[in-house]
Structure 1
Amino acid sequence: MALKNPYEKYQNNAIMAARPEELTLMLYNGAIKFINQAKLFMDEKNIQKSHNVLMRAQEIIAELNATLNMKYDISKNLRSMYEYILNRLMEANMKKDTTILDEVLEYVTELRDAWQEAIKIPKKK
């Protein structure tokens, strides 16, 4: 697969070299980016672009949900949260409602910030 530009190559290398916890952080950041883009596209009345980026945000949340390890209690709570976020993203996409996106953005940002702090804690051996 030939990459089109140096930034794409750098980004691909960063993903390939990332630890699993860093990949999760990248997914959260991607979801935040796409939700913010959707808000801008909705404000511009660009229905197709808002739909496209919301679909990408939904794919990210679905991936986070699918990769949960259900042997941990927190995963049950996260599953409920991800399902709620997915439903709200779909609703925002159908209604083109930025108010819903503001709500979802707050949740995803809180999850990202908590994850960012959690990966800073050294693992006990």
Structure 2
Amino acid sequence: MSITAYQNNSVETASPGELTLMLYNGCLKFITQAKKAMETGNFEQKNTSIQKAQNIIRELMVTMDPDAPITNEIMPLYDYINRRLMDANLKNEQEILDEAYSLVADFRDTWKEVIKQTRIQQYGQGGNA
């Protein structure tokens, strides 16, 4: 099985929670790529990577349940991250990318814990499913 086929299969068989985790990880990967491109002066790659990170943040925004109470708390944070990514792109400031990375990493780490706790509730203490 090729890597692409494996990745496609992973996405197709992932739960919604796992898909969200993949989005967070992808966003972090693109922010890291943007930072490296910024360091080497590859502004085209920096721009592309930041835009990919922004696309992921926008995807997270549009897939939120508007009726969920947590949406009112998370949506402004997603919007802030998106604006900081734009600022980093325009100003070429790594510190702004670092801030965006930190915020997305916090979301990712929290989400990993939610998945873990959900599995424990579903499958009991020994649940590694």
Does the pair score TM above 0.5? Answer: yes
Deviations 1:15-62 (A, max 9, x none): 011010000000000000000110000000000001001100000000
Shift of 1:98: 0.6
What corresponds to 2:58 in structure 1? 62
C-alpha separation between the residues in 2 aligned to 1:40 and 1:103?
Answer: 15
1:103 to 99, 104, 120: 99
| Unaligned ranges ≥5, structure 1 | none
Identity %: 43
Moved >6 Å (runs of 4+): none
Taking structure 2 as the reference length, the TM-score comes to 0.89
The two structures, once aligned, show a CA RMSD in angstroms of: 1.3
Code of the aligned partner of 1:70: P
Q: CA deviation at 1:95?
A: 1.1
Q: Distance in 1 between matches of 2:4 and 2:52?
A: 17
Report the secondary structure of 1:120's partner residue. helix
Question: Number of matched residues?
Answer: 120
Q: Unaligned stretches of 5+ in structure 2? A: 123-129
